[in-house]
Structure 1
Amino acid sequence: MKELTKAEEQVMQILWDLKKGFVKDIIQKMPDPKPAYNTVSTIIRILEQKGFVNHTAYGKTYEYHPIVQKDNYSKFYFNNFLSGYFNGSFEKLVSFFAKENDLDIKDMDELMKHVKDDLKQDTDE
């Protein structure tokens, strides 16, 4: 899997939310100032070449849908981020986060409680 550019990721985020859509649908969900139709169309074609998107043809019009799930890309992106900035160490990431946000032991305990609750919910499902 390849890492996406900011523009590609923006289009993918919209397409993940929409589940499927035409270029005009994607543009409609983009913030102002809206990019040109050809710009979004080009980004979609690049995403298709990278294996993130496929399409269904209706004559000359294409409806696009993601073929890479958001969760899969999130894991890939996070692992790249972790290895690129923290030498693959989750502990270094957490330490950095705690220092940058002036978290004390009480705050860290509260975070751990939330993590434990989330993990418990995942195993209960």
Structure 2
Amino acid sequence: MEDDLPELGELEREVMQLVWAHAPITAEAVRERLDRPLKESTVRTVLRRLEEKGFITHDVEGRTFLFRPVQDRRKVAAKAVRRIADWFCNGSIEDVLVGIVDAKMLNKKQLEQLSKKIGQAKNERK
């Protein structure tokens, strides 16, 4: 998947959440798990578009397509945050993180986990 992620529509995001949570997953299993009733052909179209955009890939077992993500959700989310940093903070990830902390978007436990992760990263990069 390239660094410049294509945009995803609401249904594509819903399907990606299911692929991340249940991979490998069939089109029928995606259809059954969606909160709205859709035809299987619609789900297959969405899966094909996600594959064209580089978010998922598939293997074939017998005649069944099994879909899985190309990258885990954290890596994709990190790329999305990079895009936000580029758009709103002149590329500064630090500004994004400080903004998240200042806006009190993280609870105490999340702040502690983030602090621990930052400490580990510092030690690894010495």
Compared CA separation, residues 91 and 54, structure 1 to 2 (3 A) = closer
Compared CA separation, residues 117 and 23, structure 1 to 2 (3 A) = same
- Name the residue aligned to 1:26: 30
CA RMSD of aligned residues (A): 3.2
Structure 1 runs of 4+ off > 6 angstroms?
A: 121-124
Compared CA separation, residues 47 and 120, structure 1 to 2 (3 A) = same
- Name the residue aligned to 2:76: 73
Pair 1:40 & 2:43 matched: yes
Q: Residue 53 of structure 1 aligns to which amino acid in structure 2? A: I
Compared CA separation, residues 20 and 87, structure 1 to 2 (3 A) = same
Per-residue CA distance 1:59-112 (angstroms, 9 max, x = gap): 2x32212222323212111101111122222343345445655xxxxx99x94x
**Percent identity of equivalent pairs:** 20
- Structure 2: stretches of 5+ with no match in the other structure: none
- Structure number with greater Rg is 1
Whole-angstrom CA distance in 1 between matches of 2:101 and 2:71:
32
Q: Residue 20 of structure 2 aligns to which amino acid in structure 1? A: W
Q: Residue 79 of structure 2 aligns to which amino acid in structure 1? A: F
Q: Between Structure 1 and Structure 2, which shows a larger proportion of helix residues?
A: 1
Compared CA separation, residues 94 and 78, structure 1 to 2 (3 A) = closer
* Residue pairs, 1:1-125, within 5 angstroms: 1=2, 2-5=5-8, 6-31=10-35, 33-57=36-60, 58-59=62-63, 61-94=64-97, 96-97=99-100, 100-101=103-104, 111=111, 113-120=112-119
Q: Is the 8 A contact 1:27 1:34 kept in 2?
A: yes
- Structure 1: stretches of 5+ with no match in the other structure: 102-106
Per-residue CA distance 1:4-38 (angstroms, 9 max, x = gap): 4132222111101112111111122222x233322
Q: Is the 8 A contact 1:24 1:37 kept in 2?
A: yes
TM-score (norm 2): 0.69
